[in-house]
Structures are given as C-alpha cells and as structure tokens.
Amino acid sequence: MPRRSASPTITQVAEAAGVSRATVSRVLNGSTRVDPGIAIRVREAAGTLRYRPNLTARNLSTGRTLTIALVIPDLGNPMFQVILRGISRAAEADGYSVLVAEVASPEREAAIAREARRQCDAVVLVSPRMDDQVLDELVEQISPVVLVNRRTTDPRFASVGIDYAAGMKQLVEHLVGFGHRDLLYASGPPRSVANRERLTALHALVDADPALTLRSIRCGSGLADGYRVAAEVLDSGATAVLAFNDLVAHGLLTRMHELGVDVPRDLSLTGFDGIELSRVLNPHMTTVGQEELDAGTVAWTLLRRRIQRSDAQGRPEQDDARDDVLLEPQIIIGDSTGPVTSR
Amino acid sequence: MPRRSASPTITQVAEAAGVSRATVSRVLNGSTRVDPGIAIRVREAAGTLRYRPNLTARNLSTGRTLTIALVIPDLGNPMFQVILRGISRAAEADGYSVLVAEVASPEREAAIAREARRQCDAVVLVSPRMDDQVLDELVEQISPVVLVNRRTTDPRFASVGIDYAAGMKQLVEHLVGFGHRDLLYASGPPRSVANRERLTALHALVDADPALTLRSIRCGSGLADGYRVAAEVLDSGATAVLAFNDLVAHGLLTRMHELGVDVPRDLSLTGFDGIELSRVLNPHMTTVGQEELDAGTVAWTLLRRRIQRSDAQGRPEQDDARDDVLLEPQIIIGDSTGPVTSR
DNA sequence: CTGTTAGCGCTTTCAA
DNA sequence: TTGAAAGCGCTAACAG
C-alpha cells in the first residue's frame, strides 16, 4: 500500500540529483567543499521534493538535539513566565528549541530533570526546591546545566539569579526612610529557597539596626495567599509589610482596600520581583526588580557556552570557571509605601 | 581515550545479562513473552548499570517522539499561560513532553509550526493569526493538529475554543440590564481572530436591539494598551466599555482611577477571559471565562485521539469526524459594572 | 571534490 | 521464548 505523501528521505534526494547521500548532506549542511553545479542540482532536487531532513535521525547521528529543557516549578507564576519567555526567545535565536517541564510536586523535581535531560542537550533548573546535596548530585548528572534563582555549594555549577539581599536592603532602607521601625514579612512557601534567602537577608538587615523589629507570618506565593492573610497582617500592628513577592502584595492590597485600610496611609506595603502588574495597577506597588536583562536571557548565554564546551569535549579545557551571575535589582518606588502616620 | 561515564547502551546491558539486545528491549518494554528468570537478570543488569534507553535512538526506530509542540503567539499573556499549563499537565500525565514555540512575528507563524512539527508527533496551534487559506494548507501538512481559539473552513480539523459570541451576549445583556445603551468596544489586535469574532458578535447583538449603539476604538491586548486609551474612552461619552480582554480592562481601570473616574458609577467596564487577576483585584472585574475545563486540557484530549489514529494508520478508519469543542463561558459579575447614572 | 562505508542505539520482523 | 539481522535516516570518517 502506498504511504500517502511520506516525507522524502535523503536517499530519494540523492537519487533525484544523481549523487550520493553524503553529498546531499554536505550541500544541505553548508559544507564549502562541494562543486557548485552539483550543489545546485541537489538543491533543486531537494526543493521539488520538498525535502526536510528528519531531525530524529540527525540527532541520533550527531548526538545533539538542539533542544534544551526548562524545568520550572509553576507555570502559573508571572515570574517564571518571564524567565520562560526570555530563555525561549534567546535560545530560538540560536536555533535551539525549548522543552518545558513543570514540576508537579517538589519530590519529583530531580526525576523530572533527569528525564528531561534525556531528550535535550542541556537543562535549565528554575528555582529548584531540593536539598543542596540532592541538587549537587543531580547537576553533575544532567550537566550542562544552569541554575536560575539558586546556587549550589559546588562552585563548578553555573547560575544566575537576583541578588535578593541587595533588593531587600533597598526596600528596607526605603521603608526606614519613611520612619517605619516595625516590619512584618509575609513569607513565601517554606521550601522556596527564594523565601529563605529573603528572610535571611531581612534578619541581617534588622539585626544591624537595633531600632528595627521584624516579625514574619506564613503566607504563600499567590494572590489568594496575600488576600487571605490580610487580617493577620493588620492584627500584628506593624506599620510596614514586606510581601514575599508581588502577587502576594497585590492580594494583600486588594483585601486591605476591602477592609477599609488605606495603603500607604495606614500601612506601607512592598512586593518583590517587579512584575508588570506592579507598575500598572493602582496604586503602583513599591517593589524591586531587574530591569534590563532578564534571568532567562542570561541563563541562555551561560548555557550556550557550556553546551559548546561539552560538545568540544576532546580537550576538556578545564575552563569551567564558575559562571555566577548575580543580577542587581532596582527598587521601583510606587504608591504603596509612605511615611508612618499615627493611626 | 576513555569516555568519562558515557551512559550505557542496550548492548552493554545485554552483555552484562548474557542475552541479546532484542531480549533486553523486550523486557524493558514490558513484553510478556519473556522468561521470568531472564527478565530478572536483565532488570538487574539494567539497574546496576543505571541504564536509561537513548530516546533519540528509540524515536528513530519507532517513528514517534512522544513530544508535542505548542505554537503560541505570546508567552506573556496570562490567557496563553493557562493554555500552556493545561496542555502541559495533561500531556505529561500521558507521558508526552511539550515543546514551546513562541511566534515572534505573525508572518513566521506557519514556518514555525512546520518546523516544530518536524521534531514532534503533533502540534497545537494557539490563536493562529494567519489567513484561513494558509491555515487550511498548513494544518493539512502538520497534522495531527488541534486548533485552539480558532476554527478553519475545513471541517476535518479539530479545534477547541471559547464561544465568544455567547460570552459577549452575556456581557451585553448584563450591561443592558443596568440600563446601558451606549456601548464602546476597546478592540484588540486587528489581526487577532478573537478580536474580530468578538467585534462581530457585538455588532450582531447591537443590531438586534435598535435601542443600542456601538462604537469601537483601537486599543490592543495588554495592560498598557488599556491604560493608554482611557482618555479616548472617556471622550466617547459611552456609559459602558467592553474591553477586548481582561488585561486591557485592568489597564483602563487603573487609568480611570487616576483620572478620578469612578468605576462603575461613572463608567461600567467589562473584560474578557476571566483571568485570575480579575477575580482578586479591586474592584473585581466583570468578565466572562471558562471555569471547569480549560482549553489546554481539552486540546490534549482531542490531540491524543488524533495521534492514536495516525499511529494506527494501517486502517485509516475514516473516523476523522470533526472534533469541534466550543466551551461555554460563564459571566463573572464583579464590581466594575453598575447601573447608569446621570453624570 | 565525491562516493563508499560505518555507524548512532534502538525496535522489530523473521527464523530457530 | 530467544537470537540474528535488518533497518529507522542521517552524518562523518576514510579512501579515491
């Protein structure tokens, strides 16, 4: 039975052009060492047959897939979407495709990453929640890899992230400048490394200034989480609340509004991440974020270099110097923060 | 020179277990026709060697990749993120991976889809902007395919989308119930099919009721677009504005607030899509959206069936009955709409 | 510059 | 039930 319009193979192109498959391959892959006349014949044959090389076969032969995997905790979070977008655009510009793998539950994180690596040349781990030890071992296995928003204890591994401590410093100084002394942190997911680092940074800042007080409450990472804890925030009596991220801040803000609490008159509020929403919605949210370069783009730069290295593994070229980019966030001052007033 | 920790091949497992590669393949792929004792030996060998089949080789051999491509116009839009998330989760549950391809410019849409199809078993086209004719031809080439938010003129092609007309009907009836007669549509991207269909639906509704007036202004699809056209909206004197989507509505809302316009007292405002933001931010936005089933999940259901069909292409089984799912949106009544007041 | 020849690692007939 | 052998479609040594 005749396969209906099975796509042509390199063999058919070779026959049509009256040359060998190797020659077809050379022409189509831009090898200069080929007779111009033959090249034209081959291209014509390929054109009329509408030949497209089978990528799977090529991948098997070359050992490369020109695909990278992005392992991401939550496709619903705007932060991660920005990273996905950045890395997708950068990678595609270099001819690489992006496979997306969402981590359903933190326990499956390592397994998913390993699985993803089997069909890709490299992987980007975004905000992995696993332990340092597990992470170190994993990274070694699935290398080349770049970590986003997380570093490891092993200095060999590349990473890119925001300097959370610097960001928190800017926020706290901003609040302190407004006279706030009694701070509250609405914390993110307990397993989130970003959350732990932000909290640690806050503690360090507050410890350095005896006038300051810091408390924290459990919250979460989404709009609904902020909304939910609003009352608890009020009960605390703090004059300023630093939310784990922008979504939480917006959730809080919404609920405050409903409760008749005026932000920033009654309470100052800051976010983190600098998502678009924070700059457009009313009132504009005070937050910190990275402006020019997004982590996704940087991650691709780092990753590409490592892919090339491991391609040219003939000479290991022990130049695995640590690539560790720490992006400096900028404070974005909105209307959600203001001077302390007696209430 | 010794490859450092090259991953083991099926041949090495076969040697370690003292069997042929074929047997290893059978055991690992769950063929029942294999001696239990041998099966155990093979599994042990595979286990100690930490053997993982090379997927590229398997793909070449089987002709399947267990990967699908999602071709999406804009990774920044929450609507599309929901679709990506839905399809990603559904596909992964069935052992399929998802490749994401963002369409940089509408002209490259078809090319990108074709390219994506080369490394995948099927593709999901989300809100394609190309002409019907181009689309029809493309779909035939890259089949199996499912269209999201777009139908074709060819009844053979599967699609899933929201019933925009039904959604608009609910919004308009809601507004009319509040006494609004003078409506304004803040339109989306001109090439967007969703935009055209929403506008068409609006026209039909307004034409059916002589009391109603409809005007429309050019706007866009993002927060900033809504923000930008706020003044123009006010100048129109309309009492109710239907925004192309929720983002536009939020942008409008923000700017209205800044301009001292009270929503909904001075102006009623509706969105479209029902993104999470609309239900959490203040005031809650009146919009329409799909609640239970998201388009991504449905798309996977449709696509899986078609993949199976084309796998079993021995008997074409001309059961390509049209799969055309039209999801019924529900109105979500928020605080952004209210009765007409004299202003 | 071109063709021949080996594979890449796996699955899958086909015999035994 | 198992093994031998062919082949998926391509690239890349190596001769010529």
Which nucleotide's C1' sits nearest to the alpha carbon of A34? C1
Residues B183 and B278 in one domain: yes
Residues B121 and B208 in one domain: no
Cis before A144? omega within 30: yes
pLDDT for A316 beyond 50: no
Residue B75: left if φ>0, alpha if ψ -120 to 50, beta else—which one? alpha
Residues A187 and A274 in one domain: yes
The whole-angstrom separation of Cα A311 and Cα A313 is: 5
Footprint of strand C on the protein (CB under 7 A): A 18-23, 26, 32-35, 37-39, 57, 60-61, 63; B 6, 9-11, 21-22, 25-26, 28-29, 51, 53-54, 57-58, 60-62
Residue B236 lies in a domain: yes
pLDDT score at B319: 53
The residue written with tokens 């060492």 in the block is: A33
Q: Which of B95, B119, B54, B40 is nearest to B304 (CA)?
A: B95
The domain total for chain A is 3
H/E stretch holding A159: strand A158-162
The whole-angstrom separation of Cα A236 and Cα A295 is: 35
Residue partners of A143: CB distance under 8 A and separation at least 6 = A122, A157, A306, A310
Mean pLDDT of B40-46: 94
Residue B338 lies in a domain: no
pTM for the model stands at 0.90
Whether residue B276 contacts residue B247, with contact meaning beta carbons closer than 8 Å, is answered with: no
Residues B137 and B171 in one domain: no
CATH code for the domain of A22: 1.10.260.40
Residue A343 lies in a domain: no
Residues B173 and B276 in one domain: yes
Mean pLDDT of B293-313: 89
Residue B225 lies in a domain: yes
- Residue B293: band (very low, low, confident or very high) from pLDDT cuts 50, 70, 90: confident
Task: Please give the distance of CA B308 from its chain centroid, rounded to a whole number.
Answer: 21
pLDDT for A313 beyond 70: no
Residues B262 and B199 in one domain: yes
pLDDT tens digits for range B138-174: 999 999 999 999 988 887 789 999 999 999 999 999 9
pLDDT for B26 beyond 50: yes
pLDDT tens digits for range B58-113: 999 999 999 999 999 989 888 888 999 999 999 999 999 999 999 988 899 999 99
pLDDT tens digits for range B46-68: 999 999 999 999 999 999 999 99
Residue contact B75–A57, C-beta within 8 A: no
pLDDT for A3 beyond 60: no
Residues A46 and A187 in one domain: no
pLDDT score at A152: 85
Tokens at B307, concatenated: 């993949």
pLDDT tens digits for range A16-66: 999 999 999 999 998 777 888 999 999 999 999 999 999 999 999 999 999
Tokens at A126, concatenated: 């975004």
Whether residue A171 contacts residue A243, with contact meaning beta carbons closer than 8 Å, is answered with: no
Residue contact A281–B250, C-beta within 8 A: yes
Q: Please give the residue range of the domain that contains residue B44.
A: 10-62
Q: Note the residue count of chain A.
A: 343
Residues B151 and B249 in one domain: no
Residue A120 lies in a domain: yes
Q: Which of A62, A79, A101 is the last residue of a domain?
A: A62
Smallest Cβ–Cβ distance between B119 and the set A55, A84, A118 belongs to A55
- Residue A79: band (very low, low, confident or very high) from pLDDT cuts 50, 70, 90: confident
Residue A336 lies in a domain: no
Q: How far, in Å, is the CA of B121 from the C1' of nucleotide D10?
A: 19
pLDDT for B317 beyond 60: no
Q: How far, in Å, is the CA of B115 from the C1' of nucleotide C13?
A: 32
Residue B336 lies in a domain: no
pLDDT score at B4: 39
Q: Which of B291, B308, B338 is the last residue of a domain?
A: B291
Residues A249 and A282 in one domain: yes
Whether residue B101 contacts residue B126, with contact meaning beta carbons closer than 8 Å, is answered with: no
pLDDT for A89 beyond 80: yes
The residue type found at A225 is D
CATH code for the domain of B310: 3.40.50.2300
pLDDT tens digits for range B110-133: 999 999 999 999 999 999 999 999
pLDDT score at B167: 97
Q: Provide, rounded to the nearest whole percent, the portion of chain A with pLDDT above 70.
A: 95
Q: Report which of residues A321 and A259 the model is more confident about.
A: A259
Q: What is the maximum alpha-carbon separation in chain B? A: 89
Residue A173 lies in a domain: yes
Q: Give the per-residue SS3 of B235-284.
A: HHCCCEEEECCHHHHHHHHHHHHHCCCCCCCCCEEECCECCHHHHHCCCC
pLDDT tens digits for range A126-150: 999 999 999 999 999 999 999 999 9
| Residue at shortest CA–C1' distance from C2 | A23
Strands A268-270 and B287-289: unpaired
Residue contact B60–A56, C-beta within 8 A: yes
Residues B157 and B298 in one domain: yes
Q: Which residues of B touch A (CB under 8 A)?
A: 52, 54-57, 59-60, 65, 67, 75-76, 78, 81-82, 84-85, 88-89, 92, 97-102, 104, 116, 118-119, 223-224, 227, 250-251, 253-254, 257-258, 276-277, 280-282
Which nucleotide's C1' sits nearest to the alpha carbon of B23? D2
pLDDT for B1 beyond 70: no
pLDDT score at B212: 96
Residues B169 and B268 in one domain: yes
Residues A175 and A221 in one domain: yes
Residue contact A89–B104, C-beta within 8 A: yes
